[in-house]
Amino acid sequence: MDKIYLLLILLLCITPETFSSGMPSTEVRAVWLTTNYGLDWPQNRISQDEQKRELIAILDNLKKNNFNTVMFQVRARGEVFYNSRIEPMSSMMVTDSPGRTKFDPLAFAVEECHKRGLECHAWIITYPLGGDKHVKSLGASSVTRKNPSITKKFKGEWFLDPGNPRTDDYLLSIVEEVVDNYDVDGIHFDYIRYPDNRGQFPDDGMYRLHGKGKTRADWRRDNITRFVKKAYDRVKELKPWVQVSSSPLGRYRTLGTQGHGWTAFETVYQDAAKWMKTGIHDAIYPMMYYKDQLFYPYVDDWLNHGNGRIVVPGLGAYQMIELGWSRQDILSQLEYTRMKNTTGQAFFRTENVLSNTKGILQALKTYYKYPAKLPSLTWLSDSVPEKPYDLRAEKLPDGIFQLKWEAKNKENRVTYNVYRSSSEEFSTDDAENILAVGLREPHVEFHIPDDDKAYYYYITVSDSYHNESEASVPAFFYHSETLK
C-alpha cells in the first residue's frame, strides 16, 4: 500500500493544467472563517463599520474566487458572535456605536453571504470553554459560573462534560437559538469530542452513575453520539433543510500500522462513521491536516463510511506556515479528493488562503475556474422544483447586460443558477456553462463584451435542499452594439 500511495503522490505533482479539463459542476468549496482571537475576522476593534467592511472584503474575495461555503465561527470557548440570551458576546466585537443599532455579527454574515451566493454554516466549538483567565474574563455570564455542575476542569482547561446528560440540554439551547433566529444553512460542530486520552478526564462519578456496564471508551463515544442525535433531530424539527455536520479528527481509526495515537474513534471518542451510517449527520468535514500516508488512505476510509452523504476533507492550508508545507502539498491533496469523488474541499483557515500563502490562491484559480453548485441533499428531500419561465435578456442604457425571469415558487427559500452556451445543446453538468450560482433574486446584471458573439442563456432554480430544476427556455442574445 505504501508504494501505491507514493506513486499516486508523484502523479499528483503534475501541473494543475493537466487536470483542469474535467472541472466539476457540483462541488463544496468551503473555508473555516475563524473569529476566535480574531484570527480571520475581526482583525481590528476600531469600529462597527470597520469590522463590517473587513468582513465584506473577505466575502467578496471568496466569491470572486468561486468558493461557495463559509463556516462562520459563531461560538468560541463559552462566548458567541451573535446576540444571545445564553452566552456573552465575544469581546472581539464592536457591537455598539453611537446612534447605531446593535451589531449582530451572525445576522450580518448570513445576509452578506447570501447576497453573494455563498452558504453560511454556523460553526460551533462544542465542549471546550477555555482556561482560567478566559473563563474569569466572562464573569457571571460564564457557564462555569451559571451552571458549574455540567463543567469539568482538565489539564488547566475548562470543558462542558459530555458524560452529563444535562450538558446536552445546555448545548441544545444554543443550537436552537441559532437555528430559530438566523437563516443559517448549516450547524457545524467542532471540538465535539473528549480532550484526549493522555490523561484521565474527570468523569468517574458520571461513569459510575450512567456507565451501565459499558467500557469507559464505549460509554464516552455513546455520550457524544447521544448529543449528536438530539441535535440532529431538533434541527430537523425546526428547519429540515439546515445541514448538520462536524469536523472530526482527520483520521477516523487506525489503519494497519498507520495512524496510531491520534484518531477520532480511539483517541477522542468520536464515532463519526456511526453518525453518518445512522443518518444523524448530513456531512463530515474531517480535519485532514496531514501528508502522505497520514492523508491519502484516510480519505478512502472516510468515503467508505460516507453512506452516500457529504464527505469534504479539510485541507490544512495553515500548515504551509506552521510546518513549511509547499503549495503542491495542498494541491496534490485537492487533486486526490477530486479523483476519489469526494464532495469537495474545505480549507483551514480563510486567511491562509486569501493571503495567497505560497501562491495557493493563485493556483486555486485553475481548479476553481468556474462556479460550482452545491450537492443535493436527496436523503432529506428529492422533489424537484418547477423550472423558471419568461426569461428576458437585454442590454440596459448604461451598458449593463440584464437577465430577468419568473419562478412559480419564488416565495419559497430558493436560489437560481445562470448558464450560458453557444448552442441550444448544452448540459447543466458542464462547469464551463455556469455563470453564477446561489442567486437569491430572479434577476442578474453583469458586463459583457461587444464581441459579436451570440449565446443562449438559461436559468434553473434550486430549492433549499439543492435539488435543481430543469433549465428554462433559453434567451438568445447577440453581444453586439448594432445587432440584438
Q: What is the pLDDT of residues 417-426, one digit of tens each?
A: 999 999 999 9
481 pLDDT exceeds 70?
no
Q: Is residue 323 part of a domain?
A: yes
Note whether 157 and 235 are same-domain residues. yes
pLDDT tier for residue 26 given thresholds of 50, 70 and 90: very high
pTM value is 0.94
In a domain, 198, yes or no: yes
- Answer yes or no: is pLDDT of 217 > 90: yes
- For 336-356, the pLDDT digits (tens) are 999 999 999 999 999 999 999
Label residues 450-475 b or e (16+ Cβ within 10 Å = b). Answer: eeeeebbbbbbbbbbbbbbbebbebb
85: left (phi over 0), alpha (psi -120 to 50) or beta: alpha
pLDDT at 223 over 90: yes
**Same domain as 399, residue 361:** no
Residue 374 within any structural domain of the chain = no
Q: Are residues 352 and 421 in the same domain?
A: no
Q: What is the structure's pLDDT at 5?
A: 45
Q: Which residue has the cell 470597520?
A: 50
Q: What percent of the chain has pLDDT over 70?
A: 92
By three-state DSSP, how is residue 130 classified? strand
Question: Is 215 within a domain?
Answer: yes
Residue 379 lies in a domain: no
pLDDT on residue 14: 41
Task: Classify strands 453-462 and 443-446 as parallel, antiparallel or unpaired.
Answer: unpaired
113 has pLDDT over 80: yes
| Overall domain count for the chain | 2
Question: What integer pLDDT is reported at residue 101 of this predicted model?
Answer: 67
DSSP character at residue 267: H
CATH of the domain at 341: 3.20.20.80
Please check whether residues 329 and 406 belong to one and the same domain.
no
The cell for 444 is 442578474
295-318 burial, b if ≥16 CB within 10 A, otherwise e? bbbbbebbeebbeebbbbbbbbbb
Cell representation of residue 155: 489539564
Question: Are 213 and 333 within one domain?
Answer: yes
**pLDDT at 213 (0 to 100):** 96
378 domain-assigned = no
Do 434 and 290 belong to one domain? no
Residues 339 and 402 in one domain: no
Mean pLDDT on 39-51:
94
pLDDT in tens, 350-406: 999 999 999 999 999 999 999 999 999 999 999 999 999 999 999 998 889 999 999
Does residue 153 form part of some domain? Answer: yes
Q: Of 260 and 52, which is predicted with more confidence? A: 52
| Mean confidence (pLDDT) of the chain | 93
219 & 277 share domain:
yes
Whole-angstrom Cα distance, residue 349 to residue 245?
A: 18
The per-residue pLDDT for 484 is 43
- Give the pLDDT band of residue 9 (cuts 50, 70, 90): very low
17 and 108 co-located in one domain: yes
Choose the weakest-confidence range: 5-14, 58-67, 358-367, 474-483: 5-14
Give domain status of residue 373, yes or no: no
Q: Which three cell numbers stand for residue 482?
A: 448594432
At 62-85, the pLDDT tens digits run 999 999 999 999 999 999 999 999
Structural domain span for residue 89: 2-367
pLDDT of 20 over the 60 cut:
no
Residue 13 has pLDDT above 50, yes or no: no
**pLDDT value for 90:** 96
Q: Could you tell me if 362 and 270 lie in one domain?
A: yes
Q: Is the pLDDT of residue 428 over 60?
A: yes
pLDDT number for residue 158: 98
Mean pLDDT computed over 86-95: 94
Q: Is the pLDDT of residue 259 over 60?
A: no
Question: Any idea what the CATH number is for the domain that residue 438 is in?
Answer: 2.60.40.10
Q: What CA–CA distance (Å, rounded) separates 124 from 160? A: 13
The reply to whether 323 and 248 lie within a common domain is yes
| Cβ partners under 8 Å of residue 90, min gap 6 | 35, 76, 79, 80, 81
CA distance 329 to 417: 33
Does the pLDDT of residue 7 top 90, yes or no? no
For the chain, what is the largest distance between any 2 Cα atoms, rounded to a whole number of angstroms? 83
At 22, the pLDDT band (50, 70, 90 cuts) reads confident
- pLDDT of 198 reads 66
Domain boundary residue among 309, 334, 367? 367
* 360 & 395 share domain: no
Decide: 33 and 89 in contact? Cβ < 8 Å: no
